[in-house]
A and B are shown apart, each in its own frame.
Chain A
């Protein structure tokens, strides 16, 4: 048990190193001028050369990579070229906002996904199953950013019930869990929840249907176990997998938030990534990608470990 845990953790380390290298290369091998955000296009070539030196872009790539990793290990992700602010502070604040949004979306998705999946699996083959399955396939097929737009059109532009964009009347820093703030979370969270909803519904449906068909459940029923008893038995067996899927979904929502956050101008990591890309702000770009990817790697590890503890029968390929 402990040995496998240690092995799993050790196995993650080279992956993390690889992820850091990919983040760095991704950004540095790409064409384009890294100084475009601080250097007006009218600037002279002399000025450009001078700034390239001042920012350290004249050093060799391995040199830049090592110094970046070394600083990152100390919690310093460098300084944003465009804003001049430390990248780490910006990324952590954005991660907090995105995490909040992703967590709410995952919970909504988990609740409805489990509900639809369970009902569909329980009444496998009936019209209830068909409707629930349809909802789940809609969930995984709908372009969620478009759904976000449609929600804005209906609930913000037409009905004027909910705010269209932003993260609260005073920005995200004075966030409170009251209606005045939470109303900003509703539309983006709903738009984000459809994918996990669909995935979890499909997973739960398959597991429930499979379990009901198994002989021992039929046997339990024959022995006079109540429906409630069967229900409890199923939940106990389905929960670990459903929770694991939910955990991974959280990671995906965290990493894949750029489209929704762009639609809703939500100040999270996706929004940060978007401005980093369009301003060609290399330190910000690689810092944001690195933190998100690392978070995802760690989340995978945690899900693995927790799942292994909960249900030793499941081992991942």
Chain B
């Protein structure tokens, strides 16, 4: 607490005893390198292996403490983050039965409690969320896990370092999905289970998971050392980590939940923490002026208008869709947001394996847009009325009101008369599933829900497949046709990683060229850190690798 010192000095005469305690504490802290992080979550994301709190959970209590069979490459800031081997060294689908996969496991990996990571551990971890009969089955982990790997069904041990995974249908997205299944230590859990006092196995299992969450064991670069519910999580370097490049140089990481942006800013400025997530835009200048560093990089995140293709929608005309995409002055919008915005060229950026070189170049060209609108029969005197459902706030929504108002102004130059239906974030989100034809859409022909675009299903498929019409999934606008369904099927059944990516690239190019969205912004995930934190790489990802950072 160095920043508290002036005050302590001031009152040291009165409370000399307290000052003594403090002075004793400071040298002890100085010896080890401690990184203190303020998260945006209101509670510490769950620590038992399957974090809640969305991707922030994976970022802080998933990736640092655990590994999955596959993982995202977080080592580069200038290239897309791609999938790389994790606890599995290689994988392949069965040549005949495309629902069977073989995963080869990394030898010599140990959990924090010393037990070995092997095929049994993988089977055990699949069962914890998918096998209701298994003693370690935990309903509370099912929701967040199963929805991110919808086709995985069972796991079977072949030998100590080989497992076979089965899916409900052929699904080439499985390796990507598996980056969400973190491996918890079965041996450590068993100890907790045996120690539980409850009567029934179900209650014992529940108690074991509670105990495990307070004293967890994974294979990650950091191991849990202290847990204070809702207040603080401390993890220490795992010097025996299997990847030499990721053996942490920081001794200890402390994570604190701080949902209030102003509280986080206060904590950073007063030296209470070294790193805050999502500083409020208003405080950026102040934060920088006190010698802190702001990191940001476009994330796989899209902030769009998703358009309706229901009968009577003005967006059925492709010229109109193109015109809207060409009429948003994204450069100026970015300036207004203090640069805290990425400029989209599609759902994924150029250079991404799924990019696919679409022929439609999304840029600001009001002349071309006006011409297209003229062709469609609209003019300044006869503007096209469109109505968009938006929210005033919401997770991932950035600054929805001023951003939408800016787009409204921008589109006016191209004969769009934009009306907003401002509703609550939760309602907007729920309506997303109900679709443009539902009364809840309130006559809107576009909706403004931002989304994560890491996994091909969540980035693309759910918005364009005829199988994902409401209420099944989020194809709010009932967009779809045979061509796009065929492209999706191709991607799902291309089992070579390269072929799959090539198929996804075709799908992405098709989507951009058909423009069922107005692509407006990417979030850049700003975070502020004290200058003492070095070797920070902010990848083009929702995640960040703490293990490779250093502290001065």
Contact = CB atoms under 8 A, between A and B. Distances in A.
Main secondary structure of the interface of B (DSSP, over half): helix
Interface string B22-59: 10010000000000000000110010100010100000
B258 interface: yes
A140 B73 CA distance: 57
B392 interface: no
Nearest to A50: B142
B46 to A, nearest CB: 6
B473 interface: yes
B529 to A, nearest CB: 19
A171 B429 CA distance: 35
A179 B206 contact: no
Interface string B468-507: 0001111000000000000000000000000000000000
B206 A164 contact: no
Nearest to A278: B42
Nearest to A275: B42
Given A45-B471, A170-B232, A272-B230, A165 B42 contact: no
B46 A83 contact: yes
B143 interface: yes
A13 to B, nearest CB: 30
B376 interface: no
B210 A85 contact: yes
B249 to A, nearest CB: 24
Contacts of A82: 43, 52
Interface stretch (B87-95, B265-273, B403-411, B518-526): B265-273
Interface in B227-241: 228-232
Interface in B99-120: none
Contacts of A35: 143
Contacts of B18: 178-180
A180 B42 contact: no
Contact of B139 (A54, A93, A166): A54
B229 A39 contact: no
A161 interface: yes
Nearest to A32: B426
Contact of B433 (A41, A156, A271): A41
Nearest to A53: B139
A166 B231 CA distance: 9
Interface string A32-43: 000101111111
Contacts of B7: 160-162, 183
A81 B140 contact: yes
A178 B17 contact: yes
A267 interface: yes
B144 A165 contact: no
Interface residues of A, number: 54
Main secondary structure of the interface of A (DSSP, over half): loop
B197 interface: no
Contacts of A51: 139, 142-143
Interface in A218-238: none
B43 A83 contact: yes
A160 B450 CA distance: 38
Contacts of B19: 179
A51 to B, nearest CB: 6
Interface in A79-102: 79, 81-86, 89-90, 93
A83 B42 CA distance: 11
A165 B260 contact: yes
A39 B430 CA distance: 13
Nearest to A93: B229
B231 A44 contact: no
A66 interface: no
Nearest to B260: A265
B142 A171 contact: no
B270 A163 contact: yes
B209 interface: yes
B29 to A, nearest CB: 10
A39 B52 contact: no
A175 to B, nearest CB: 11
Contacts of A39: 143-144, 147
B1 interface: yes
Given A90-B229, A178-B18, A265-B258, A47 B146 contact: yes
Nearest to B213: A84
B258 A180 contact: no
B263 interface: yes
A161 B148 CA distance: 47
Contacts of A176: 21
Interface string A10-50: 00000000000000000000000001011111111101001
A273 to B, nearest CB: 12
B548 interface: no
Interface in B113-149: 138-140, 142-144, 146-148
A241 interface: no
15 contacts: A39-B144, A41-B433, A50-B142, A51-B139, A82-B52, A83-B229, A85-B229, A89-B229, A90-B230, A160-B7, A161-B7, A167-B231, A169-B272, A170-B232, A267-B231
Given A43-B147, A165-B266, A275-B43, 5 more contacts: A38-B52, A41-B429, A44-B472, A171-B232, A172-B231
Interface of A: 35, 37-45, 47, 50-51, 54-55, 79, 81-86, 89-90, 93, 152, 156-157, 160-167, 169-173, 176, 178-180, 183, 265, 267, 271-272, 274-275, 278-279
